[in-house]
């Protein structure tokens, strides 16, 4: 949990200097920019350098270091970390799109955090079953036209670029899914007001309409019909990241529980001397460490370009986010009724971490994916 890692401590220290842990307490106000300190901190911490094109097998520099950065920023602030997770998804997608250099300038702008991006996959008709998406793309002279609607899109309130998944009008299912990088000010693109959510309240989440949005050929990401293949590679990288971010928040919740339990006296002794609560703390620690081990393993697997990335990444996300959910729940218990009061700030962890088991593929969908791959592998090796 606290391994001697100078990279992790440098992020922690810088975040404290920027008082970044206080920013996450503020709710997003529709139409207002996010506090500039969030971006200044992320730029100065140079976290996006981990994603710059390099020579590792997955084409990015260091997934493992990126995961440490997500954990540390997640421990500080839930707004900054969601800027990181979302932006990384688009950065990975542009890199995995192939040797294509058309979008190099946009990639660079995102790596430097000069421009912000959001990822538009989910639709009202279904988020898990992407093959059934209704947003349609029609070929036109010189480019494409997109028609449809997306919902629950994080960071759309301030994004400059929209990575949009749409299905070719003449191809069914996954084979038709194609990706585009669309500018915010493109005619026909409408971002609806911020949707209020249970947690992660510091970041905007919006519904978006694409009404005959015209996109030039240069903004095709990869090739026609190859969008799903690119997204699968991208999600292999981002899923452990969601786990790392959740474990960061969970660690802070645990720290607060430990501090509270040291001073709160019940039945004549501090809570931390109570065997039942000690057992609870041991359970939290074990869950946290097991989740982090899976995240680290996924990071190594990606950095070394090993096979089986999809299953390992899915398992890392499940293990880490389920662990984080358990940890914030048990940490809240330490505070008794006070844990439930908004002013104490523990319930915020509970609400924030909850979404991590839902997006980037729900944990149930990922369990199905893990079962599919492992059943096959077990039968082959038996």
- Contacts of ligand FAD in 136-165 (CB under 6 A): 152-154
Q: Which of 52, 209, 358, 369 binds ligand FAD (CB under 6 A)?
A: 358
C-beta separation of 240 from 85 below 8 A = no
Tell me the CA distances in angstroms from 368 to 249, 357, 372, one per residue in order. Answer: 27, 14, 6
Cα-trace Rg, the chain: 21
DSSP characters for 227-263? HHHHHHHHHHHHHHHHHHHHHHHHHHHHHHHHHHHHH
Pick 152 or 323: Cβ nearer ligand FAD = 152
C-beta separation of 175 from 199 below 8 A = no
Q: Which of 103, 254, 311, 355 binds ligand FAD (CB under 6 A)?
A: 355
CA distance 88 to 155: 12
Residue 301 touches ligand FAD, criterion: CB under 6 A? no
Residue 341 Cβ, how far from ligand FAD at the closest point, in Å?
23
Q: Which of 38, 163, 177, 200 binds ligand FAD (CB under 6 A)?
A: 200
Query: Of 119-127, 180-188, 268-276, 299-307, which part binds ligand FAD (CB under 6 A)?
Result: 119-127
Residue 362 touches ligand FAD, criterion: CB under 6 A? yes
Query: Of 242-250, 261-269, 300-308, 361-369, which part binds ligand FAD (CB under 6 A)?
Result: 361-369
- Contacts of ligand FAD in 240-299 (CB under 6 A): none
Q: Directed axis angle between helix 227-263 and helix 346-354, to 10°?
A: 160
Q: How many amino acids of this chain bind ligand FAD (CB under 6 A)?
A: 22
CA distance 234 to 97: 10
Query: Of 69-77, 125-133, 243-251, 309-317, which part binds ligand FAD (CB under 6 A)?
Result: 125-133
Pick 42 or 130: Cβ nearer ligand FAD = 130
Residue 368 touches ligand FAD, criterion: CB under 6 A? yes
For residue 302, give both structure tokens.
């990606």
Residue 261 Cβ, how far from ligand FAD at the closest point, in Å?
31
Q: Using alpha carbons only, give the angle 68, 230, 110 rounded to the nearest 5 degrees.
A: 55
Please, which residues bridge with residue 269 across strands? Answer: 266
Residue 195 Cβ, how far from ligand FAD at the closest point, in Å?
8
């Amino acid at each position: 949990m606290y391994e001697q890692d100078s990279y992790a401590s440098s992020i922690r220290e810088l975040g404290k200097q920027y008082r970044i842990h206080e920013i996450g307490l503020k709710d997003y106000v529709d139409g207002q920019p996010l506090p500039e300190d969030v971006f200044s901190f992320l730029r100065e911490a140079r976290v996006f350098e981990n994603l710059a094109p390099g020579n590792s097998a997955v084409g990015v520099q260091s997934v493992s270091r990126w995961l440490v950065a997500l954990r540390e920023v997640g421990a500080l602030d839930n707004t900054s970390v969601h800027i990181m997770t979302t932006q990384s998804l688009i950065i990975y997608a542009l890199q995995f799109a192939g040797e294509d250099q058309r979008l190099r300038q946009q990639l660079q702008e995102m790596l430097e955090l000069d421009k912000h991006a959001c990822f538009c996959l989910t639709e009202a008709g279904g988020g898990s079953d992407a093959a059934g998406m209704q947003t349609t793309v029609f070929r036109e002279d010189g480019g494409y036209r997109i028609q449809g609607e997306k919902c629950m899109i994080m960071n759309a309130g301030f994004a400059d670029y929209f990575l949009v998944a749409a299905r070719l009008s003449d191809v069914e299912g996954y084979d038709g899914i194609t990706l585009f990088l669309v500018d915010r000010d493109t005619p026909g693109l409408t971002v609806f007001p911020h949707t209020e959510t249970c947690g992660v309240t510091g970041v905007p989440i919006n519904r978006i309409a694409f009404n005959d949005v015209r996109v030039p050929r240069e903004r095709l990401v990869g090739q026609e019909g190859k969008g799903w293949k690119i997204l699968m590679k991208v999600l292999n990288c981002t899923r452990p990241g969601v786990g790392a971010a959740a474990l960061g928040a969970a660690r802070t919740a645990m720290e607060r529980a430990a501090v509270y339990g040291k001073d709160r006296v019940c039945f004549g002794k501090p809570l931390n001397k109570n065997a039942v609560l000690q057992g609870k703390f041991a359970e939290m620690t074990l869950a946290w460490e097991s989740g982090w081990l899976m995240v680290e393993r996924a990071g190594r697997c990606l950095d070394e370009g090993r096979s089986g990335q999809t299953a390992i990444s899915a398992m890392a996300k499940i293990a880490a986010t389920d662990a984080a959910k358990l940890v914030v729940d048990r940490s809240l218990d330490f505070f008794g009724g006070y844990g439930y009061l908004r002013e104490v700030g523990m319930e915020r962890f509970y609400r924030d971490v909850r979404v991590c088991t839902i997006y980037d593929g729900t944990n149930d969908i990922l369990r199905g994916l893990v079962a599919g791959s492992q059943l096959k592998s077990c039968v082959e090796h038996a």
